[in-house]
């Protein structure tokens, strides 16, 4: 039945704004309202705040301030990275290597470029959800200009070998391939694992504010010094000609503050979410039969757990949990009557049933041990009920009647 | 949340779930587009549906439609059950979003197939 208790376990979708972040941005919605491009006092006050936020965001990933381009979010960052780079380097080749488990924004951009004649190689992620560097090497062609592989996956949290791919690119460059670049979507990874762009070796890196306890509407693209991209928004000089349009100062200030706090609290948050996740996975394994954990057991972000429940469709489990106040997500979607099992879970080699029955639990800094206890209690009960209805469940088929269901004879 | 209280009630407390061991009409249909499945088993005595049970796999509307369908047909004559329409199911559930109405279509189709299976196999109807 409906419940007043609410447990939010969907922090990979978005996070609540941290009160410290909201406090930092508020003045820029009110008295400090200037346009950062204006030369007067009001404008310079806003400019100073944007510059400070740029240093803070750069600090989170070990970049220089002038390598950060502020945008509206992760999707725009991925668009600017891939389209912007591809347009700039098109004379040198029209081949992109990406993975089969990218976020829908990267998938969508690659599909759009494919329609315009670009060739895309999509690397497998295998059963553990991790791309192999050898596959990148064997897919390289003389006309490959971009490799775009996410730093950590949004559904299963697996961390990809970006540093190793970057090393491969350096070898290729040393052998004369001057026009080969590496983009990584770090929207899920940022603030959850330490990132140093120099060590990572990527040329472009996407970030989003609202995954870091800042409001929606801000993001950034790291563009390594010397890498040229074509701006996709034109008609203004903002962001060093790479993104025209008045800077969204309050959101940028919030992003900067959230990035600084995320950097400071990274290890505390990590050990907290890792503990909750461990508790979830061990108790679910004890109490719920017929489940499959998705993704590499260790090489993944500490806050994500992805579990497939046999005999159950993900949407039904999601809604049943929601009716008990628990918010999770599923990669599968049933929209307009079309079956869309999670493409990420399918890419792991799972069958349609497991891909349709996958649920992502993503923890945040404010979740508690009691949240996990409540989740597991509800989950075991709801999963058992849905399975008692399922024609895929051999036990349901064999049985005549289920005591937990209501009926009349 | 676009779902009605009636819908949520059927999802939370499904009616008549299971499989009848002594059914004399059974059928299972699959929506070929989305993969949702509905299985009905009925015990028909003297032309009326004495007991109905359902099993369902798929999105929440498919589950709720299975549940409400069994509730609506139990005690009805086969002829009355044949008259049941998608609109009847949708009304009983307080409506469904348009992109989820295929669940009601699957339920009605499964009911018709189940009744057919009974008709061809049981001369006593």
Q: Which residue from B34, B57, B59 is facing A391, i.e. has the nearest CB? A: B57
**A124 and A214 within one domain:** yes
Does some domain include residue A202?
A: yes
Residues of A with CB below 8 A from B12's CB? 1, 320, 323
* Cβ within 8 Å of residue A245, ≥6 positions away: A233, A235, A236, A238
Q: Which of A327, A356, A406 to mutate to test the interface with B (most CBs of B within 10 A)?
A: A406
Does some domain include residue A2?
A: no
Does some domain include residue A406?
A: no
Does some domain include residue B85?
A: yes
What are the average pLDDT values for consecutive 10-residue runs of chain A, which has 409 residues? 81 97 98 97 98 98 98 98 97 97 96 98 97 98 97 97 98 93 98 97 98 98 97 93 96 98 98 98 97 97 97 95 96 64 91 94 98 98 96 79 41
Nearest CA in chain A to B17: A389
Q: Which residue from A311, A339, A408 is facing B33, i.e. has the nearest CB? A: A339
Does some domain include residue B124?
A: no
Q: Residue B118: pLDDT band by 50, 70, 90 thresholds?
A: confident
Contact with chain A for residue B117, Cβ under 8 A? no
**A374 and A306 within one domain:** yes
**Is A202 one of the catalytic residues?**
no
Torsion of CA A321, A327, A330, A333, to 10 degrees: 80
Does some domain include residue B75?
A: yes
Mean pLDDT of B49-59: 96
Q: So what's the pLDDT on residue B124?
A: 46
Nearest CA in chain B to A352: B35
Residues of A with CB below 8 A from B60's CB? 315-316, 319-320
Provide DSSP, chain B.
----HHHHHHHHS-BSBS--TT-SEEEEEE-TTT--EEEEEEEEETTEEEEEEEEEESSHHHHHHHHHHHHHHTT-BHHHHHT--HHHHHHHTT---GGGTHHHHHHHHHHHHHHHHHHHH-TT-
**A370 and A256 within one domain:** no
Residues 48-77 of B with CB under 8 A from A: 51, 53-60, 63, 66, 70, 74
Out of A262, A285, A305, pick the residue that ends a domain: A262
Q: Which residue from A2, A339, A406 is facing B13, i.e. has the nearest CB? A: A406
Q: Which residue from A1, A336, A391 is facing B12, i.e. has the nearest CB? A: A1
* Complex-level ipTM: 0.91
Does some domain include residue B125?
A: no
Q: How many domains does chain B have?
A: 1
Q: Which domain holds residue B66?
A: 5-119
Least confident residue range of A161-170, A290-299, B93-102, B115-124:
B115-124
Q: How many CB pairs under 8 A join A and B?
A: 103
Q: Are A313 and B51 a contacting pair at CB < 8 A?
A: no
Q: Are A334 and B59 a contacting pair at CB < 8 A?
A: yes
Residues 370-389 of A with CB under 8 A from B: 385-386, 388-389
Rounded to the nearest angstrom, the minimum Cα separation between A210 and chain B is 23
**A369 and A221 within one domain:** no
**A346 and A250 within one domain:** no
Q: How many residues does chain B have?
A: 125
- What is the C-alpha separation between A118 and A230, in angstroms, rounded? 17
Q: Which domain holds residue A366?
A: 7-14+266-395
Query: Which CATH number characterizes residue B69's domain?
Result: 3.90.1010.10
- What is the C-alpha separation between A162 and A133, in angstroms, rounded? 9
Q: So what's the pLDDT on residue A236?
A: 92
**A211 and A274 within one domain:** no
**A282 and A256 within one domain:** no
Query: Which CATH number characterizes residue A41's domain?
Result: 3.40.640.10
**A290 and A211 within one domain:** no
**A278 and A212 within one domain:** no
Q: How many domains does chain A have?
A: 2
Q: So what's the pLDDT on residue B100?
A: 84
**A55 and A82 within one domain:** yes
Q: So what's the pLDDT on residue A161?
A: 98
Does some domain include residue B21?
A: yes
**Number of neighbouring beta carbons within 10 Å of residue B46:** 9
**A154 and A288 within one domain:** no
Q: Are A316 and B60 a contacting pair at CB < 8 A?
A: yes
**A300 and A251 within one domain:** no
Q: Is it the case that residue B125 has pLDDT exceeding 50?
A: no
Alpha carbon of residue A26 to chain centroid: 27
Q: Which residue from A323, A406, A407 is facing B11, i.e. has the nearest CB? A: A323
Contact with chain A for residue B35, Cβ under 8 A? yes
**Catalytic, out of A86, A110, A177, A334:** A334
């Amino acid at each position: 039945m409906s419940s007043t208790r609410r447990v939010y376990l969907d922090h990979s979708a978005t996070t609540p704004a941290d009160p410290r972040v909201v406090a930092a941005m508020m003045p820029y919605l009110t008295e400090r309202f200037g346009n950062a491009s204006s030369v007067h006092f009001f404008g310079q006050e806003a400019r100073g705040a944007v510059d400070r936020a740029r240093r803070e965001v750069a600090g989170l990933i070990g970049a220089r301030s002038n390598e950060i381009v502020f945008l509206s979010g992760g999707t725009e960052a991925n668009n600017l990275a891939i389209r912007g780079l591809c347009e700039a380097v098109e004379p040198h080749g029209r081949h992109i290597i990406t993975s089969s488990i990218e976020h829908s924004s990267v998938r969508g951009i690659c599909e759009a470029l494919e329609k315009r004649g670009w060739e895309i190689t999509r690397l497998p992620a295998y059963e553990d959800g991790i791309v192999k560097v050898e596959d990148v090497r064997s897919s390289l062609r003389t006309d490959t200009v971009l490799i775009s592989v996410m730093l950590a996956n949004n559904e299963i949290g697996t961390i990809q070998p970006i540093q190793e791919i970057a090393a491969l690119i350096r070898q290729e460059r040393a052998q004369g391939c001057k026009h080969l670049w590496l983009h990584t979507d770090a929207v899920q990874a940022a603030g959850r694992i330490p990132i140093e762009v120099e060590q990572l070796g990527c040329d472009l890196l996407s970030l989003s504010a609202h995954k870091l306890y800042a409001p929606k509407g801000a993001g950034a693209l790291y563009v390594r010094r010397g890498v040229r991209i074509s701006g996709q928004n034109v008609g203004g000089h903002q962001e060093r000609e790479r993104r025209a349009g008045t800077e969204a100062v309050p959101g940028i200030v919030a992003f900067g503050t959230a990035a600084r706090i995320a950097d400071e609290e990274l290890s505390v948050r990590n050990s907290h979410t890792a503990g909750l996740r461990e508790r979830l996975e061990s108790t679910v394994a004890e109490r719920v039969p017929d489940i499959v954990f998705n993704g590499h057991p260790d090489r993944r972000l500490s806050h994500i757990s992805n579990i497939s429940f046999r005999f159950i469709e993900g949407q039904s489990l999601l809604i049943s949990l929601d009716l008990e106040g628990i918010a999770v997500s599923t990669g599968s979607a049933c929209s307009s009557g079309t079956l869309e099992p999670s493409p990420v879970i399918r890419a792991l080699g799972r069958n349609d049933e497991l891909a349709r029955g996958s649920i992502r639990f993503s923890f945040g800094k404010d979740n508690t041990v009691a949240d996990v206890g409540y989740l597991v209690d509800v989950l075991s009960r709801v999963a058992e009920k849905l399975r008692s209805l399922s024609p895929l469940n051999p036990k349901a088929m064999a049985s005549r009647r289920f005591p937990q269901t209501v009926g009349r004879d | 949340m676009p779902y009605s209280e009636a819908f949520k009630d059927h999802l939370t407390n499904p009616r008549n779930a299971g499989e009848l061991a002594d059914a004399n009409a059974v059928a299972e249909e699959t929506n070929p587009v989305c993969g949702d499945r509905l299985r009905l088993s009925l015990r028909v005595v003297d032309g009326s549906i004495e007991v109905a049970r359902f099993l369902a796999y798929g999105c929440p509307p498919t589950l709720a439609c299975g549940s409400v369908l069994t509730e609506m047909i139990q005690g009805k004559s086969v002829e009355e059950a044949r008259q049941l329409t998608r609109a009847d199911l949708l009304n009983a559930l307080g409506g469904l979003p348009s992109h989820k109405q295929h669940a009601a279509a699957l339920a009605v189709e499964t009911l018709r197939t189940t009744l057919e299976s009974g008709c061809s196999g049981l001369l006593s109807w």
